[in-house]
Amino acid sequence: DLSKATVSVLYCKFTLSSKKKKKMSYKDGNVAKGGKLAQTRAGQCHTFAEGGSNGVGPNLFGIVGRTSGTVPGFAYSKANSESGVTWSEEVLDEYITNPKKFMPGNKMAFAGLKKEKDRADLISYLQTLK
């Protein structure tokens, strides 16, 4: 027979442990490394802050789950604006691997990230931009 004290301890332990859950990441990507990659590999063309301006490329805040070609004020290529793509983690992974192959006719002058770990890190960072 469980005493009230035992039940309270079990409840507290369950409540505390459920609040310590690890942040979700894409394929065990490292958010901090992804942030650095974003700045070094995409920062010259994109911004990442909420409400940030568009540069050579659109602002990427909120990209995960967004429909391609929908950032206000950015002049997208016809290929991008008419693609109907929704940027899920998996779609971003495929796109970032080789943007020109994934979406022929897009304007992005980026050869892609070939290393799966780099893509996982970058996408894990992009997931935090909400």
Residue 123's H or E segment, with its range, is helix 116-127
What does the pLDDT look like over 14-27, one tens digit per residue?
434 333 334 568 99
pLDDT at position 24: 63
Q: Which long-range contacts (CB under 8 A, 24 or more apart) does 33-38 make?
A: 33/121, 33/125, 34/120, 34/121, 34/122, 34/123, 34/124, 34/125, 34/126, 35/125, 37/113, 37/118, 37/121, 37/122, 37/125, 38/122, 38/125, 38/126
Which has more pLDDT, 19 or 78?
78
Lowest average pLDDT, out of 25-29, 86-90, 122-126, goes to 25-29
Q: What is the pLDDT of residue 16?
A: 40
